[in-house]
Structure 1
Amino acid sequence: MLKTAVTFIFVFLILLSVSAEAKKTRLTDNPLYGVTTTSPEEFLGYPLGQHLLRHDQVNYYLKEIAQQNPRVSLENTGISHEGRQQLTAVITSANNQQQLDEILKQRQQVKYLGEQSGPIVIWLAYSIHGDEASGAHAALKLSHMLATSEDKWVTNLLENAVVLITPSQNPDGMDRFSTWANGYAGKVAVSDPNHKEHKQGWPSGRSNHYLADLNRDWLFLRHPESQGRVALFHRWQPHYVGDFHEMGHNQTYFFQPGVPERTHPLTPAANQKLTVKLAAYHQAALDDKKQSYFSQQLFDDFFYGKGSTYPDINGAIGVLFEQASARGQQQDSSNGMVRFDEAIDNQYATSISSLKGALALKSELQDYQAEFFSNKHQKPKKKKPRQSGRLISTANDNQRIKQLTALLSQHQIEYYYLTNPLTQGGGSFDVDSSIFVPDQQAQSSLLTALFDNRTEFNDPTFYDVSTWNLQHALNLTIRQNVKLELSVLSQTAPKFKQSKWSPKAVALLIDWRQNQAAPALQQLLNQGVMVKFAAKPFTIKSNNRQLDFPAGTLQIPLKQDGHSASELNKMLLKLSQQMQLEITAANSSSSVNGIDLGSPDFKVVRPLKPLIISGKGTSIPEVGQIWYYLDSQLKVPTTLVDINDLNAIKLSSYSHIILAGGSYTSLDDKFARKLGPFTADGGVVIAQKGALSWLNKANFLKTSLRGERFYKQLFNGAGLTFDKKSSFSARQEIGGAIVELKLDKSHPMNFGITGNRLAVMKNKALGFAQASNDFSVAASYSSQPLLSGYMAQEYQSSFASSPAIVVESRGKGAVVALTDNLLFRNIWLGSEKLYANALYFIPALH
Structure 2
Amino acid sequence: MMLRLCLLLLFFTPLIAQAASINQNVTTATSAIATTSAIESPSQFLGYPLGSWHLRHDQINFYLKQLARQSPRVSLESTGSSHEARSQLTAVITSAANQANLKQIMAQRAQVKSGQPQTGPLVIWLAYSIHGDEASGAHAALTVSHQLSSSQEPWVIDLLDNAVVLITPTQNPDGLDRFSTWANNYTGKVNNSDGNHNEHQQNWPSGRSNHYFADLNRDWLFLRHPETRARIALFHRWHPHYVGDFHEMGHNQSYFFQPGVPKRTHPLTPEENQRLTHQLAAYHAKALDTRQQPYFSQQMFDDFYYGKGSTYPDINGSVGMLFEQASVRGQQQESDNGMLVFEQAIANQVATSFSSLKGALALKQELQLFQTRFYQRKDKHQPSGRESGLLISTSQDPGRRDDLAQVLQQHQILFFYLREGLRQGRHYYAPRDSLFIPINQPQKSLLLALFDQRTEFDDATFYDVSSWNFTYAYNLQLARDVSLDVDTLSSQRPLDAPLSIAADSVAVLIDWRQHHAATVLQQLLSHGVKVKFAAKPFSIMTSAGASDFTAGTLQIPLGRQTMASAPLRELLISLATHHRLTMATVTSSRALSGIDLGSPDFHPIAPIKAVVITGYGTSASEVGELGYFMDQHLAAPLTQVDVSRLPSLPLNRYTHLFLADGSYQNVAEKLARKLGQFVNNGGVIVAQKGALSWLSKGNLLKSDVRNPRAFEQLFATDGMRFDEQATLRARKAIGGAILALDLDTSHPINFGLQGNILPILKNKPLGLLAGSSSFTTAASYADEPLLDGYLATEYQRSFSQTPAIRVERHGQGAIVALTDNLLFRNSWLDAQKVYSNSLYFIPALH
Give yes or no for TM over 0.5: yes
Answer yes or no: is 1:234 the counterpart of 2:236. yes
Which piece of structure 1 moves more, 592-601 or 326-335? 592-601
2:88 matched residue in structure 1: 86
CA distance in 2, matches of 1:448, 1:651: 48
Per-residue Cα deviation, 1:514-533 (whole angstroms, up to 9, x for no partner): 11100000000111111111
2:652 matched residue in structure 1: 652
2:192 matched residue in structure 1: 190
Question: What amino acid does structure 1 have at the position aligned with 2:719?
Answer: G
1:16 matched residue in structure 2: none
1:702-717 → structure 2 map (5 Å cutoff): 702-717=702-717
CA distance in 1, matches of 2:774, 2:435: 39
1:391-790 → structure 2 map (5 Å cutoff): 391-543=391-543, 545-790=545-790
Give the conservation status (yes or no) of the 8 Å contact 2:36–2:150.
no
Q: Secondary structure at the match of 1:412?
A: coil
Deviation at 1:488, TM superposition (A): 2.3
Give the conservation status (yes or no) of the 8 Å contact 1:472–1:830.
no
CA distance in 1, matches of 2:306, 2:366: 23
CA distance in 1, matches of 2:38, 2:409: 42
CA distance in 2, matches of 1:818, 1:653: 24
Deviation at 1:398, TM superposition (A): 1.1
Q: Secondary structure at the match of 2:785?
A: strand
Give the conservation status (yes or no) of the 8 Å contact 1:771–1:777.
no
Per-residue Cα deviation, 1:759-780 (whole angstroms, up to 9, x for no partner): 0000000111114134100000
1:339 matched residue in structure 2: 341
- Aligned pair count reads 813
Deviation at 1:721, TM superposition (A): 0.9
CA distance in 2, matches of 1:434, 1:662: 39
Per-residue Cα deviation, 1:693-742 (whole angstroms, up to 9, x for no partner): 11111111111111112212011121111111110111011010000000
Question: What amino acid does structure 2 have at the position aligned with 1:529?
Answer: V
Per the alignment, do residues 426 and 804 of structure 1 end up closer, same or farther by CA in structure 2, a change over 3 Å counting?
same
Deviation at 1:34, TM superposition (A): 8.2
Question: What amino acid does structure 2 have at the position aligned with 1:839?
Answer: L
Deviation at 1:380, TM superposition (A): 7.0
Question: What amino acid does structure 2 have at the position aligned with 1:504?
Answer: D
Give the conservation status (yes or no) of the 8 Å contact 1:109–1:115.
no
CA distance in 2, matches of 1:416, 1:620: 38
CA distance in 2, matches of 1:366, 1:436: 32
Per-residue Cα deviation, 1:89-123 (whole angstroms, up to 9, x for no partner): 00001001011111111111011133211111000
2:12 matched residue in structure 1: none
CA distance in 2, matches of 1:409, 1:169: 22
2:299 matched residue in structure 1: 297
CA distance in 1, matches of 2:673, 2:61: 50
Task: Specify the structure having the higher radius of gyration (Cα).
Answer: 1
Deviation at 1:596, TM superposition (A): 1.1
Which piece of structure 1 moves more, 577-586 or 451-460? 577-586
Give the conservation status (yes or no) of the 8 Å contact 1:124–1:165.
yes
Per-residue Cα deviation, 1:357-410 (whole angstroms, up to 9, x for no partner): 0001111111111111112565479xx721110111111211111100000000
Give the conservation status (yes or no) of the 8 Å contact 2:509–2:584.
yes
Per-residue Cα deviation, 1:627-676 (whole angstroms, up to 9, x for no partner): 00001110111100000111111001001010011111011123211111
CA distance in 2, matches of 1:638, 1:595: 34
Q: Percent identity?
A: 59
Give the conservation status (yes or no) of the 8 Å contact 1:525–1:607.
yes
Long gaps (5+) in structure 2: 1-33
CA distance in 1, matches of 2:776, 2:36: 78
Long gaps (5+) in structure 1: 1-31
Give the conservation status (yes or no) of the 8 Å contact 1:111–1:377.
no
2:205 matched residue in structure 1: 203
Per-residue Cα deviation, 1:299-357 (whole angstroms, up to 9, x for no partner): 00000000000000011100000000110000000100000000000000000100000
Question: What amino acid does structure 1 have at the position aligned with 2:371?
Answer: Q
Q: Secondary structure at the match of 1:713?
A: helix
> Among residues 137, 152, 155, which one is paired with 1:153 in the alignment?
155
1:18 matched residue in structure 2: none
Question: What amino acid does structure 1 have at the position aligned with 2:455?
Answer: T
1:316 matched residue in structure 2: 318
1:2-151 → structure 2 map (5 Å cutoff): 36-151=38-153
Q: Secondary structure at the match of 2:784?
A: strand
Q: Secondary structure at the match of 1:449?
A: helix
2:823 matched residue in structure 1: 823
CA distance in 1, matches of 2:379, 2:106: 20
Deviation at 1:486, TM superposition (A): 2.5
Per-residue Cα deviation, 1:46-77 (whole angstroms, up to 9, x for no partner): 00000000000000000011011000000100
Per the alignment, do residues 544 and 257 of structure 1 end up closer, same or farther by CA in structure 2, a change over 3 Å counting?
closer
Deviation at 1:567, TM superposition (A): 2.1
CA distance in 2, matches of 1:378, 1:153: 37
Per-residue Cα deviation, 1:131-155 (whole angstroms, up to 9, x for no partner): 0000000000000000111111100
Q: Secondary structure at the match of 2:842?
A: coil
1:386 matched residue in structure 2: 386
Give the conservation status (yes or no) of the 8 Å contact 1:390–1:436.
yes
Give the conservation status (yes or no) of the 8 Å contact 2:534–2:551.
yes
Give the conservation status (yes or no) of the 8 Å contact 1:704–1:771.
no
Give the conservation status (yes or no) of the 8 Å contact 2:618–2:660.
yes
1:326-365 → structure 2 map (5 Å cutoff): 326-365=328-367
2:4 matched residue in structure 1: none
Q: Secondary structure at the match of 1:639?
A: strand
Which piece of structure 1 moves more, 364-373 or 123-132? 364-373
> Among residues 261, 272, 276, which one is paired with 2:278 in the alignment?
276
> Among residues 240, 261, 264, which one is paired with 1:262 in the alignment?
264
CA distance in 2, matches of 1:176, 1:33: 34
Per-residue Cα deviation, 1:555-612 (whole angstroms, up to 9, x for no partner): 1111124212222111111111111111111211111111111111111111110001
1:23 matched residue in structure 2: none
Per the alignment, do residues 532 and 142 of structure 1 end up closer, same or farther by CA in structure 2, a change over 3 Å counting?
same
CA distance in 1, matches of 2:354, 2:202: 31
Q: Which consecutive segments of 4 or more residues in structure 1 shift more than 6 A?
A: 32-35
> Among residues 284, 287, 290, which one is paired with 1:288 in the alignment?
290
Give the conservation status (yes or no) of the 8 Å contact 1:415–1:438.
yes
Per the alignment, do residues 717 and 36 of structure 1 end up closer, same or farther by CA in structure 2, a change over 3 Å counting?
same
CA distance in 2, matches of 1:567, 1:654: 29
CA distance in 1, matches of 2:312, 2:378: 18
CA distance in 1, matches of 2:329, 2:754: 48
Deviation at 1:625, TM superposition (A): 0.4
Question: What amino acid does structure 2 have at the position aligned with 1:40?
Answer: P
Which piece of structure 1 moves more, 567-576 or 250-259? 567-576
CA distance in 2, matches of 1:242, 1:492: 36
